[in-house]
Structure 1
Amino acid sequence: MKSERFFNMRSFLLFPLALLLLASSAIAQTPQATPPPPAAPRSVQFPKPVEKTLANGLRVIVVQRSEMPLVTAQVLVKSGGEVDPTDLAGAADMTASLLTRGTATRSATQIAEAVEALGGSIASGGGWDASTITTSVMTSRIDPAFAILADVIRNPAFKDEEIERSRRQALNNLRVALGTPGSIARFVAARVVFRDAPYGHPLSGTPESVPRIKRDDILKLHDTYYRPDNAILVIGGDVAPQDGFALAQKYFGDWPKPATALPNAMVGNPVGDANTRRVLVIDKPDAGQTAVLLARTGINRTSPDYFRGIVANAILSGYSGRLNWEIRVKRGLSYGAGSGFDMRRWSGQFTASVQTKNESGAEVASLTLAEVS
């Protein structure tokens, strides 16, 4: 009897809560007629970078921000996939990925263990216009972290077994990519937009070019482009500018600058005919869905239209952008549609992409063209 009264009392107490929850849920689902007014503008203060160039040409930038006892340092080499030799697409990307795979005095395992012992991280990789290696540690351990950072950027071993492991990984990734409609569309679009220019090949290479990359090719690329007068060292976090410059001088001041001039690599910007449209259809019978991708020549990072392009694209892209609104919200033909500029050093491209059912591929292609045109 007592337990029954307790049950009834508990039910009675929970009943108002259930009503409250149901009422709150109903209120939450009621659409708001007008958006709330914007909040008052807030002032933003960015830390001021302090810059110095070492005698060997290495540009050093220190950005002090001492809210947390952490420091991140990045060496950025101002060359990436754009300098790949014509028949060795993917060479720059592979070179960058191998930096942490062993040096003249440390194996890949020893590098990983040393960084882990510092409670930090280290990573390297290549892009189209730059190759980077980055380390992050607590402020108190920045000195030994810099020793490792300098070692991997200046003295990579490029061991044969590590090159072969990297080659296998690159080929496996390419096989996976070439099995998905979206990746195939991106590869083909880059070739159409940039043609035979360096930007026209996949950054990681092709199934034909990756097996051709040899150790001598990697050594040559590293010797040619990994040099202090083609690099920037950025140090950010809990470090004073004078301390950052002292670390740079200690570990990179004797990095020799080659006597030979840096090769003058320039990627042309293809001029497309705005009045001509090409429709390419790639038949992949086993594809579970269709990728629709619109591509055309875009702008580079120094274009006077840089910020205008970002603002203009905001009208097309995003959840409430015209592409997603027409294709997903109004017609339910895709989980999402978007667009964007890929602005690189020498050139760039604009793309709009959608994934949809095979049956609605033609309709989505027409809608994409209509919204972008």
Structure 2
Amino acid sequence: VVDEEVFETERGVVKEELRQRVLAPPYGRLARFVIPENAYDVMPHRRPGIGSIEDLDNATLDDARSFYEAYYGPDTATLIVAGNFEMDGLRTLVDQYFGDIPPRKNPIDLALTAREPELTAPRMVNATAPNVPLPVVGGIWKGPPTTSSDAAALDVLEAILSRGDNSRFDAALVRTGLAVDASAGVSMFREAGAISVFAVVSQPDGMEAAGTTLNAEIEKVRSEPVTAAELAEAKSEIIASSLRRRETARGRAFELGEALVSSGDPGFADKRLAEIADVTAEDVLRVAAKYLDPQKRVTFTYTAGEDDPSQYANPTPMPEFRSLPPATGEIRQVKPEDERMAPPGPAESPDVTAPEIVEATLSNGIKVVAVQTGNVPIASIAMLVQGGSKTDPREKAGIAQMAAALVDKGAEGMDEAAIAAEFESLGASFGAGAGSDGATFALTAPVANLEQAGALAAKLVRGATYPQEAFDRERKRAMDGLTVSMKEPGPLARYVSRVAMYGDAPYGTQPDGTRDSLSAITRDDLVAHREGYFHPQNMQIVVSGGISPEQAVTIAEGMFGDWSVASPPAAVPAEAAGDDLPVRTIVIDMPDAGQASVIAAVRAPSRKDADYFPLELANSVLGGGSSGRLFEEIRTKRSLSYGAYSGFADRADESILTASAQTKNETADEVAKLFLEEFERLGSEPLSEELLQKRRLYLSGSRARALETSGGFNSIVATLLQQGLPPEEAAMFADRLSAVDAAAASKAAQEYVDPAKATLVIVGDAEQFVDALREFRSEVEVIPAQYLDLATASLMKAEAAADGE
């Protein structure tokens, strides 16, 4: 049904999506507007798929109906099914549910006959946009379609330039401190492609140096063959990435489907991997010289300033693309509820044998959980330690995160380049980070290489040296990353809500730190944290994937079985949430924000609390996915946001339940009011058993899909272990939800999700909503963004009072 109501609702939703994904983020316009405008001249790919606010305002219902009748039909659709099914039964279901779809009313040939002309001379584009904290320099070239014989070599070239910590761009631009990020992208579609490179410059006055270095790396790869080691690393990374996608039925479906629609060949995904395996150094040199020609390049800069599309406009006039015939069919009407065909009910549940969870103990007492979750030959190891950001002193918030994240910068005589090179040559992915309750070191690798990759990971955890030069650079990058995040309404609202709800308690510490706290951290702080918390008595290990539990335990024993430390581990706070704090209404005034972020927060129980599952079920009704009430009221009915959700984290101590959405500035107060109304409704209207059964199926299905991957399984089990729960809880989620009756869920909703207990946080242009907000929340704290202090419970810098704010 595409009628006026549906059209107007969805037009509003897409506007909010555009604001959220393109206009609000500092670099959204670069990716969605600047690059495609200059990558293509005559192909439709030049236009941003999401359009512009003006495009959306100019669209009509007749346009949408014409598009539907021209393109939506069985002959344009591809159905991909992956997973556990019987082919005969599948064919029956496809015939039953898809067989009567009529052909298109006004069929249009899908083929695009135009092809991109070559660029005959270089040109320069200087784009500006509001709210850009760090400048960007880069280049754009035309690329081939995905079926080109050059495509595989270009994929390998992209990986050599910018994939992983051992890439050429990382070495030349990031490790030298010239850029906080550097990337190469090769986008290839059925008819055309584009290549782009860019560096986010660490200092506004460093654009020339970063641009010169970027250009030098491009020229080098055009004139000299890549090394055999680089070639092998790139292939290993690409193939391992494909294996990770293929761990799940959903991942296999997407990889097969995307390859099919871009090539027309059902076997294309496997053929492309085979082509990548055959790429030579000469192939990479050839495609680099062919496509990265400086005479066929659009060089660009992207800096802070006004949003002026004319500054980055392609000099080639926008072509007149095809017009569609007028819609001929009648507008369908939704039938009355009692006349609609009922959706198919649940079939008989299949017998599913849960994989056996094996628990073991290493020679030194470290507990190991191992399970074979699939047969794709890739596996993951999660090494977790207690601690996390709740152990950070407030004046040095970020120690736990940096101590975890920087373990791969040096250990046992290996520098970061050697560490990255070894991981990448093994097709392994290693990363680490700290949350509220602990830190996790995550390794994923092909099973054949897991023992070797695991030995390296163990070296890092046991003996990270945090070289001073790398520490200084990464601390600067972290500070620059915070500068970017503090310009985005969404992340900033989450930072503020943490402090508003926990205040000076340990959980109130920002895991990523603040600019001031990061500047106070020293290398010695990281060493001290590692010695105190990365400790065999403080560690647990989870291994899963396409590996037998016996082999997994053997590998873990080789990694950590002989590890001993004379001193005891450092203390971990027993209580981290602190007392409940007064309700607040906080507005962070950001006049140049492209959108407002709205959060309503209440305290929630810990993971071990008896109310955890009742509230989990009640919250699913409130804001779980696109069928939650928040989504229905805020997006579906009113088009106020691209999405509205709620949830709460698994924490050892009390958590926070937050409802969140982003909306245009002038409707921030309306979204906040709707949050409070839905909080009230959830606690006052008894929840029915029929409704809760649907939510149980939704939640348990989501959990089952997460457990399907080794990384997902490890993340869930690691979180359970950090909360002091047994790993078997991972497989008992559905049973726990089934044990919650409607009365318990309603009681939890009434107790916790109380609008009178809700703190509101809004980040945006206060002038556009604060007066309306005061009509239903009289005590509003307005804090100008430049005076925000995330290190204090007041959230206000001391100098703000001196300035009369």
TM-score tier by shorter-chain length is 0.7 to 0.9
Q: What SS class does the counterpart of residue 35 from structure 1 fall into?
A: coil
Find out whether 1:301 has 2:607 as its counterpart: yes
Could you give the per-residue CA deviations for residues 257-305 of structure 1, whole angstroms, max 9, x where no partner exists?
Answer: 33335414223434437xx743222222112222111012111111112
CA–CA separation in structure 2 for the residues paired with 1:178 and 1:139: 40
Q: 1:135: Cα distance to partner?
A: 1.8
Residue 21 (structure 1) aligned with residue 104 (structure 2) = yes
The separation in 2 between residues aligned to 1:251 and 1:280, in whole angstroms, is 48
SS of the equivalent of 2:492 reads helix
One of 318, 339, 347 as aligned partner of 2:654: 347
Residue 568 of structure 2 corresponds to 260
Q: Does the aligned pair in 2 maintain the 1:193–1:270 contact within 8 Å?
A: no
Partner residue of 1:143?
A: 451
Q: Distance in 1 between matches of 2:439 and 2:498?
A: 20
* 1:189-237 CA distance string (max 9 Å, x none): 1111101012112210011100000011111100000011111121213
In structure 2, C-alpha distance between the alignment counterparts of 1:20 and 1:53, rounded to whole Å: 62
Equivalent residue, structure 1, for 2:497: 189
Aligned to 1:122: 430
> Residues 125 and 132 of structure 1 are in contact (CA less than 8 Å); yes or no, is this contact kept in structure 2?
yes
Correspondence 1:278 to 2:361: no
2:479 aligned counterpart, secondary structure:
helix
Task: Name 1:322's counterpart in structure 2.
Answer: 629
Aligned AA (2:504): D
Inter-partner Cα distance in structure 2 for 1:237 and 1:321: 32
List per-residue Cα deviations over 1:13-69 (Å, max 9, x = no partner). xxxx89722399989x77654222222212332211111222423111221346222
CA-to-aligned-CA distance 1:303-331 (integer Å, 9 cap, x gap): 11222121111111122221121112111
CA distance in 2, matches of 1:267, 1:254: 32
Match of 1:7 in 2: none
Distance 2:447 2:626 in 1: 40
Distance in 2 between residues matched to 1:244 and 1:189, nearest whole Å: 40
Contact 1:82 1:267 in 2 (8 A): no
AA aligned opposite 1:312: A
Residue 297 of structure 1 aligns to a residue whose secondary structure is: strand
CA distance in 2: counterparts of 1:117 and 1:87, whole angstroms: 40
Whether 2:368 is the aligned partner of 1:60: answer: yes
User: How far apart are residue 151 of structure 1 and its match?
Assistant: 0.7
Contact 2:506 2:578 in 1 (8 A): no
Write the mapping of 1:210-289 to structure 2, written as runs, cut at 5 A. Answer: 210-260=518-568, 262-272=570-580, 277-289=583-595
Q: Aligned residues, how many?
A: 355
Larger relative contact order (CA 8 Å, sep ≥ 6): 1
Match for 1:296: what amino acid? Answer: V
Structure-1 separation of matches of 2:502 and 2:631: 27
Quote how far apart the aligned CAs of 1:137 are: 2.0
Quick one: structure 1 residues 69 and 333, their matched pair in 2 at CA, closer, same or farther if it must change by over 3 Å?
A: closer
Which of 164, 170, 174 is equivalent to 2:478? Answer: 170
Which of 72, 75, 89 lines up with 2:383 in the alignment?
Answer: 75
Name the SS of the counterpart of 1:350 in structure 2.
strand
CA 312–94 in structure 1, closer or farther in 2 if over 3 Å, else same: same
Measure the CA separation in 2 of the matches of 1:241 and 1:120.
20
> C-alpha distance in 1, partners of 2:461/2:403?
11
Q: Secondary structure at the match of 1:204?
A: coil
Identity of aligned pairs, percent? Answer: 36
Q: CA deviation at 1:242?
A: 3.2
1:359 aligns with one of 661, 666, 689 = 666
Instruction: Give yes or no for contact 1:187–1:201 (8 Å, CA) kept in 2.
Output: no
Give 1:152's aligned residue: 460
Q: Secondary structure at the match of 1:208?
A: helix
- Opposite residue 20 of structure 1, the aligned amino acid is P
Tell me how far apart the structure 1 counterparts of residues 573 and 469 of structure 2 sit (CA, whole Å).
31
Summarize deviations over 1:319-369 as a string: whole Å, max 9, x none: 222112111211121111111112311221010112111111222211111
Following the alignment from structure 1 to structure 2, what is the Cα–Cα distance between the partners of residues 21 and 218? 63
Structure 1 residues 252, 81: CA separation in 2 closer, same or farther (over 3 Å shift)? same
Asked whether the 8 Å contact 2:600–2:659 carries over to 1, the reply is yes
Gaps of 5+ in 2: 1-74, 77-101, 108-326, 335-339, 681-805
Within 2, Cα distance between the matches of 1:345 and 1:68?
34
Alpha-carbon contact 1:271-1:297 (below 8 Å) kept: no
Q: 1:370 aligns with which of 662, 669, 677?
A: 677
Contact 1:177 1:183 in 2 (8 A): yes
Give the distance between the partners of 1:49 and 1:257, measured in 2 at CA.
Answer: 29
Mean CA deviation greater in 43-52 or 220-229: 43-52
Structure 2 distance, partners of 1:142, 1:153, is: 16
Amino acid at match of 2:509: H
Alignment of 1:102 with 2:102, yes or no, is no
Retained in 2: the 8 A contact 1:292–1:355? yes
Most deviating of 223-232 and 104-113: 104-113
Two-structure CA RMSD over aligned residues (Å)? 2.5
Shift of 1:244: 2.7
Q: Does the 8 Å contact 1:56/1:257 carry over to 2?
A: no
Q: Which amino acid aligns with 1:331?
A: R
Q: Which residue of 1 aligns with 2:90?
A: none
**What CA deviation, in whole Å up to 9, does each residue of 1:81-138 have, x standing for no partner?**
1111232101000011001112122111111111122222222222221212222222
Q: Which residue of 2 aligns with 1:14?
A: none
TM-score of the aligned structures, taking structure 1 as reference length? 0.88
Take 1:268 and 1:20, find their aligned partners in 2: how far apart are those partners? Answer: 61
Distance between the aligned counterparts of 1:291 and 1:84, measured in 2? 28
The verdict on how the C-alpha distance between 1:343 and 1:234 changes in structure 2, with shifts beyond 3 A counting, is: closer
| Gap runs ≥5 in structure 1 | 1-16
Residue matched to 1:89: 397
- 8 Å contact from structure 1 (residues 51, 61) kept in 2: yes
- 2:346 equivalent in structure 1: 38
